[in-house]
Structure 1
Amino acid sequence: MKPLLRVLCFAFSYSLLLGPSTLTAEDWPAFRGPRGNGTSLETEVPLKWNQTENIVWKVRLPTSGNSSPIVSNGRVFVTCAEKEGRQRSLYCYDRRNGQQLWVRTVNFDKVLPTHKTNNYCGSTPVTDGERVVVWHSSAGLFCYDFAGKELWSRNLGEFEHIWGYGVSPLLHDGKVILHCGPGKRVFMTAVDLANGKTIWETEEPTEGDGQRNNERKYMGSWSTPVIADIKGQELIVCSMSLRVNAYAPQTGKIIWSCYGLRGKKGDLAYTSPVLANDICVAMGGYNGPAIGFRLQGTGDITDPERLWREEPNPQRISTGVFTNNHLFMANAGPNIFQCLNPSTGKIVWQERSGGAACWGSMVLANEHLYVTDQNGTTHVFKPNAARFEKVAQNQLKERSNSTPAFSDGQIFLRTFQHLYCIGN
C-alpha cells in the first residue's frame, strides 16, 4: 500500500473508532504540521492544562534540545544529542502510552561550535507514514523505517557555524527537501526519498566564512522552507541570509528572488516565510528587517513586487501564522504578541505576552492560536484582528524552545526535560 494511502486509511479508521467529533483528526508529520504553515484541522484539542491536569503521559528525555516532536501512524519521533554532539539520536515512542520503542544513534567524532542555547539536535524529523528522515547536520542525513531499520544515509558535508544548526527537512513529491547550512557552503537540495540519491543541488552565495559577512557582521539562515502553490505552480520558498528564493521542485532552478533581508546588525534569518494569500512575508533576525512582496514574476523581483520593508523589528525566532487575513506573531524580545497587516507590514495591535520569549513557532488549532514560550508556558489566544484576546496560559514550569504537535485531539510538547502528551 502506498504511504499516503496508508496514512489516510489509518486516520479514517482511527476517526471511526473515536466517533464523529474527531473526523478532522490528522497526523503531524513535519515541523509546523502537514501543510508546513502551522495550521491544524483539530477541533477537540485542550485549551487548558498544567503539570497535572490533562496530562495523558510524559516521558523523561535524556537531554534538552530545540527540535520539535512529530506524530505519525501511532508513533512520536523526537531528536536528542549527547556528549557535545558526538552522539545524535532519533527516538521513537508509542503515542498511546509514551513507551520508548527504539532509538537510533549516530556517532560523530568532532565537536563543532554551537550557541549555548542551541543543543546539537535543532532539526525536527519528517515522515511520510512509513519512513522517517532526520538531519543531524554534519553527522549526516538518515532515513529509517518505522521499526527503526536504517534504509539509507547521506553525508552532505560539514556545516560549521558559531550558532549551530536548526533547519528541518520537508517531504514533497517523493523528495526530501533540505536547506543545508548555515556555514561556509550553503545550498538547497532535493534527495530521493526512496534511495537517498541527490536529485539536485542549488548553491547559495555566502561571504567570508559563512558566519560573518564582508563587514564582519553576523550572517546565516536557519529558515525551514515551505511549499507554495501559486496559481497551480508549486515552488519551494525559503528565506536565505540576504533574500527569499523560490525553487522549482523538479530541477532546483531559482525562479525568483526578493532581496531585503540584509540588516543593520547582520544578514540573518531564523523564521520560515509566511504565505498570506498572494503575498509572502519574510522576517530577518537580530532586530533585522521584515519584507512583504507579491508572489509573482521571475528573476530579481525586488523592485517590481516588493510592497514594503520595515526595520528595526523585535527579535523574531518564532514563525507566525496567517489567518483571518492577518499575520499573528510571537516575539523573542521584547516579549510581545503582534497582529500585522501582511499587505503593508503595519502593526494592527501588539500586547505584552505576560510570559517569556518565544522561540517555538505558533500553531492554529480549534480556532485558537497556541505558542509555547521559553519557560514552558503555552499561551492560547484567539486570532482576533481587532484586539488581543487571551484564553489561557498553561504552565509546565520547564524550559522549552519547541513547537507543539497536534494530532487526534492531543498535543505533543517537548520541554528541556520531558516529552508530554496533553489531551482532554
Structure 2
Amino acid sequence: MKDSTLKSCLFLFPLLLFCGHVVAAEPDSKSQNWPGFRGPAGTGHSSSNGVAPRWNSDDIAWQVDLPVQGHSSPVVWEDRIFLTGWTQANGQVHRHVICLSRQTGELMWNRDIATGSGEELHKMNSWATPSCATDGTCVVAFFGAGGLHCLSMDGDPRWSRDLGQFPGAWGVGASPIIVDEMVIQNADAEGESFLLAVDKSTGKDVWKTPRREKPKGGWSTPLPIVVNGQRQLALNGEFGVEAYNPDNGEPLWFCKSFNGRGTPVPAWDGKTLFVVNGKAGDVYAIDPSGRGDVTETHMRWHTPRKGGRDLPSPIVSNDVMLVIGMAGIATGYDCQDGRELWKERLAGNFSGSPVSAGGLVYIAAENGEVIVLRLGEQLEVVSKNPSPLTKDEIVRSSLAISGGQFLLRSDKRLYCIGAN
C-alpha cells in the first residue's frame, strides 16, 4: 500500500463512524473509546449502543471526587479515562494530567507536568480547559502558556513544548488532535497565532502555519474531514473558517464569518460544514470543495441568528443543525436551505457541546441536568434527567459516551451514568 493511501485510511477511519445520517455498527471495543474532544470523529457522534434516554440517581454506576479542578471533557481509551486539571499552592498553578479507571473511577495516576504563575483568565475559563487526545499509544495535553505535553499511557513523560505566553484576558480552549503520527494544535492568541503539527514521538515541528494576526484567542479545535478523497483540517476562528492540508499545513480555502470569536467547532455531515460564529451573527453552511477565498462561491446558505453568545458547538442529526446558546435557547435549522425550523428555550445555562447516539442528542446544562432531544421538523424533548451535582459544582465540559454509558465531568467530580 502506498504511503499516501495508508495516510488517507488512517485519517478516514474515525470519520466513517459518522457520515451523513447513517451510523454504522461498531465493535464494542471501539465504541468504548472516546479518544478526543467530541469523540471519535470530532463531531460529537457515537455509534455506542444501548445509551439510555432516561435515568435517575439509581443509574449512576459510580462517581468520584477529582484531585484537580478544570473544565476539560473526559477522554476514554479502553480501560482508561484521561482528564486535565489544575491545583494551586504557594501562589503557583500546577497543571495535571490524570488517569482514572474506566470501570470504577479509581485514580490510576496523577502527573503534575507544568508549574507557573498562571495566566489571566476569563471567569468562565480555567487553567485546564482543553481536553486530552489519545490514540492508544500516548496521551497529549495542552495548557496554553502551560505548554503542550505528551505522556505514555502509563503517565511517563515523553516530551514537552513551550508554545508561548498566549496573551489576553480569556485563556485557551482549543484541544489537540492526533492525525497519523502528528499532534496538531491550534495556537490562536492575541499575539502570534499559528496552527502547529509536531511529531508524536519526538515533539519536533513537522509544519507550522501562521494564522491571521490578533484574534481574540484560541478556543476552537481543528476538525478533520475528507472532501472528494482529500483530507482537510477545518478550523473556526475569529475571522472565519479556514481549511488546511494536514500533510504540510498548506492553507486550502477560507470562508469569512459574519461575527467573530469562532469558538464553536463546525458541524459536519460528510458533505457540508455548518458554522456558528460564537457571537450573534448569521449561521452558515460551506461546501468545502473550493480553493482560495470561497466566501462568495461556496457558502451554500446563511441565516440570521440574533441573541447572545454561542459557546456550545453545533451538531447535525436527522438533517437538522442544532445550535444551543449559552442561555439555553435551542434553534433548529434545515441543513438543506438554512431555514429556521423551530426555537425553544431549554431550562438552564449551557457551556458544553451536545453529543449524539442512537438518533438522539444529549446535552448537559451547567447545573448537571442532561436534556435529551430528537431533532426533526419539530423539536421533541425526550427527557430531562436530574442532576447528580451538589450545589458547589458546575459543568462546563461536554459529555463523553463510552460503552453505552455517559461520563459527566463537573469542575470537581466525575460521574459515570448508565447500567454496566
Q: TM-score, normalised by structure 2?
A: 0.88
Contact kept in structure 2, 1:36 and 1:227, CA below 8 Å: yes
List runs of 5+ in structure 1 lacking aligned partners: 9-19, 211-218
1:135-192 Cα offsets, whole Å, 9 max, x none, are 1111111111111111111112221221111110111111111111332111111111
3-state SS of 1:102 partner: strand
- Paired with 1:126 and 1:221, the residues of 2 have a C-alpha distance of 17
3-state SS of 2:296 partner: helix
| Partner residue, 2:42 | 36
- Paired with 2:34 and 2:75, the residues of 1 have a C-alpha distance of 6
2:325 pairs with 1:318: no
3-state SS of 2:63 partner: strand
C-alpha deviation, 1:352, in angstroms: 1.2
C-alpha deviation, 1:116, in angstroms: 1.2
| Partner residue, 1:231 | 228
- Paired with 1:21 and 1:178, the residues of 2 have a C-alpha distance of 29
**Root-mean-square deviation (Å):** 2.2
Residue from 366, 383, 404 that aligns with 1:391: 383
Contact kept in structure 2, 1:47 and 1:392, CA below 8 Å: no
C-alpha deviation, 1:98, in angstroms: 1.1
Aligned residues: 391
| Partner residue, 2:101 | 94
| Partner residue, 2:115 | 108
Contact kept in structure 1, 2:228 and 2:289, CA below 8 Å: no
Contact kept in structure 2, 1:381 and 1:389, CA below 8 Å: yes
Q: Please show how residues 73-92 of structure 1 align to structure 2 within 5 Å.
A: 73-83=78-88, 86-92=93-99
Contact kept in structure 2, 1:49 and 1:395, CA below 8 Å: no
Contact kept in structure 2, 1:292 and 1:343, CA below 8 Å: no
Contact kept in structure 2, 1:200 and 1:252, CA below 8 Å: yes
C-alpha deviation, 1:108, in angstroms: 2.8
Residue from 284, 293, 301 that aligns with 1:291: 284
- Paired with 1:181 and 1:260, the residues of 2 have a C-alpha distance of 16
C-alpha change, 1:79 and 1:192, in structure 2 (3 Å) is same
| Partner residue, 2:266 | 273
C-alpha deviation, 1:307, in angstroms: 2.8
2:169 pairs with 1:175: no
| Partner residue, 1:422 | 417
3-state SS of 2:145 partner: helix
| Partner residue, 2:246 | 249
C-alpha change, 1:384 and 1:308, in structure 2 (3 Å) is closer
Q: Which amino acid aligns with 2:297?
A: P
Q: Please show how residues 178-217 of structure 1 align to structure 2 within 5 Å.
A: 178-207=185-214, 210=215
- Paired with 1:101 and 1:229, the residues of 2 have a C-alpha distance of 36
| Partner residue, 1:13 | none
| Partner residue, 1:121 | 128
| Partner residue, 2:353 | 361
Q: Which amino acid aligns with 2:267?
A: V
Residue from 286, 289, 296 that aligns with 1:303: 296
C-alpha change, 1:375 and 1:85, in structure 2 (3 Å) is farther
Contact kept in structure 2, 1:66 and 1:401, CA below 8 Å: yes
Q: Which amino acid aligns with 2:291?
A: T
3-state SS of 2:241 partner: strand
2:142 pairs with 1:148: no
Contact kept in structure 1, 2:275 and 2:314, CA below 8 Å: no
| Partner residue, 2:5 | none
3-state SS of 1:53 partner: helix
- Paired with 1:129 and 1:394, the residues of 2 have a C-alpha distance of 33
Contact kept in structure 2, 1:190 and 1:200, CA below 8 Å: yes
Q: Which amino acid aligns with 1:256?
A: W
List runs of 5+ in structure 2 lacking aligned partners: 1-8, 14-25
- Paired with 1:122 and 1:387, the residues of 2 have a C-alpha distance of 31
1:254-304 Cα offsets, whole Å, 9 max, x none, are 01111124x2xxx21110011234221211123234222211211111111
- Paired with 1:395 and 1:111, the residues of 2 have a C-alpha distance of 31
3-state SS of 1:138 partner: helix
Contact kept in structure 2, 1:88 and 1:106, CA below 8 Å: yes
- Paired with 1:302 and 1:24, the residues of 2 have a C-alpha distance of 38
3-state SS of 1:104 partner: strand
C-alpha deviation, 1:242, in angstroms: 0.4
| Partner residue, 2:343 | 350
Contact kept in structure 1, 2:130 and 2:174, CA below 8 Å: yes
Q: Which amino acid aligns with 2:81?
A: V
C-alpha deviation, 1:24, in angstroms: 7.0
2:66 pairs with 1:61: yes
Q: Percent identity?
A: 29
C-alpha change, 1:258 and 1:199, in structure 2 (3 Å) is same
2:76 pairs with 1:71: yes
- Paired with 1:285 and 1:180, the residues of 2 have a C-alpha distance of 18
Contact kept in structure 1, 2:369 and 2:384, CA below 8 Å: no
Contact kept in structure 1, 2:365 and 2:395, CA below 8 Å: yes
Contact kept in structure 2, 1:182 and 1:222, CA below 8 Å: no
C-alpha change, 1:307 and 1:21, in structure 2 (3 Å) is closer
- Paired with 1:111 and 1:179, the residues of 2 have a C-alpha distance of 20
Residue from 257, 261, 265 that aligns with 1:260: 257
- Paired with 1:127 and 1:25, the residues of 2 have a C-alpha distance of 15
